[in-house]
Amino acid sequence: MAKPLVIQTEDLDPAPAAWLSERCELVRCGAGEKRFEQLLALAEGMVVRTYTKVDGAMLAKGPKLKVIGRAGVGLDNIDLEACRSRGVRVVSTPDANTQAVVEFVWALIFDALRPRLFLSEALEKSHWGEVRRELRAEKQINELTLGVYGLGRIGKRMATMGAALGMRVIYHDLLDIQSDLRHGATPVSRDELLANADILTIHVDGRPSNRNLIDGAAFARMKPDVILVNAARGFLMDNRACAAFFSSHPEAMALLDVHEPEPFGSNYPLLGMENVHLSPHLAAATDRAQENMSWVVRDVWRVLNGENPEHEAK
């Protein structure tokens, strides 16, 4: 029997790709490539990552599609409703990069709080003393309140770490989370979260209603020296409001790993601001996380083989 055709539109780690190739005809082809539509007409599966947009128009050109595998966590690039109405199942890897993202966010926070200097040459005694005075941190982490916006997998681990470091941890979530699952964090209203967080870290999902969740009104509630971290999705924040806040609050700092759009152009309103640090969507960039995400191929194969997938997006 012919193997089912699966299109791989973005990178996959070699071992999971080889595993799927043993079972399917796996063809690497980006959604913008010329032959994509030809392949889509025949494909039973598609494996995507962060930047392939799966919408109704695309699905209409894939009449045989049974499954979309999202190598990663966020499902904002996939129109779940359109998939549902066409009977296309969507599978993903919800816990694949939790650890990687949490490590990255804490690395950003520690970098922001603790100035450091790595020496490549000996310093004169007077300069040594000067440097030690200049690099004194203004804030110690256990004196600060960590605000976690969204207490999902990543938010919970951020809370655990914050509590372990001696921080007061508060969170806001749409769900009512039972007290033994709060990981040391105290629930507060959205306004309280915004007003009381010294470090505000965003971990909500990318559902359409979360677009511009952090708008001008939200910035207006924040502390003038807040450290804002966004490693979730760029569109959760209003870029112009963000630029206005950080240009008028030089004591505040933004640590932004995700952007709208990605990649951003030279007209990005947050470029070139001293207190806004931009990184190119690196939070999940560890070998382990990348491999974990790529193993979405197991669930893709389960669906094609008539089995139940482990992680199906509903």
Which of the residues are catalytic?
233, 262, 281
How many residues in the shown chain lie near ligand MLT by CB under 6 A?
A: 8
Q: Using CB under 6 A, which residues numbered 93 to 112 contact ligand MLT?
A: 97
Residue type, 81: E
User: In the set 58, 73, 78, 304, which binds ligand MLT (CB under 6 A)?
Assistant: 73
Q: Does 309 bind ligand MLT (CB under 6 A)?
A: no
Q: Rounded CA gap, 252 and 230, in Å?
A: 14
CA angle in degrees (0–180, nearest 5) for 21-26-27: 145
Minimum gap (Å) between residue 149 Cβ and ligand MLT: 17
The C-alpha atoms of residue 265 and residue 222 are separated, in whole angstroms, by: 28
Of 33-41, 71-79, 167-175, 182-190, the segment contacting ligand MLT by CB under 6 A is 71-79
129 Cβ contact list (under 8 Å, min separation 6):
none
**Residue 90: other Cβ atoms inside 10 A:** 23
Q: What is the DSSP letter of 309?
A: P
Task: Output phi, psi for 18, to 5 deg.
Answer: -65, -40
Residue whose CB is less far from ligand MLT, 29 or 232:
232
And the tokens for 175? 């769900």
Q: Is 190 in the site for ligand MLT (CB under 6 A)?
A: no
CA 149, 154, 156: angle at the middle one, nearest 5? 75
State the greatest distance between any 2 C-alpha atoms of the chain, in Å, as a whole number.
Answer: 78
Q: Which is nearer to ligand MLT, 149 or 219 (CB)?
A: 149
Question: Does 236 help bind ligand MLT (rule: CB under 6 A)?
Answer: no
Closest residue to ligand MLT, judged by C-beta, is 72
* Residue whose tokens read 């599966």: 45
Interface with ligand MLT (CB under 6 A), residue from 45, 62, 69, 74:
74
Minimum CB separation of residue 232 from ligand MLT in Å reads: 8
Question: Applying CB under 6 A, which of residues 284, 296, 300, 304 lies at the interface with ligand MLT?
Answer: 284
Rounded Cα gap, residues 292 and 280, in angstroms: 20
By CB under 6 A, the residues from 38 to 67 that bind ligand MLT are 49-50
Please say which residue, 70 or 223, places its beta carbon nearer to ligand MLT: 70
DSSP codes of every residue in 201-259: EE-----GGGTTSB-HHHHHHS-TT-EEEE-S-GGGB-HHHHHHHHHH-TT-EEEE---
Judged by the rule CB under 6 A, the positions of this chain that interact with ligand MLT are 49-50, 72-74, 97, 281, 284
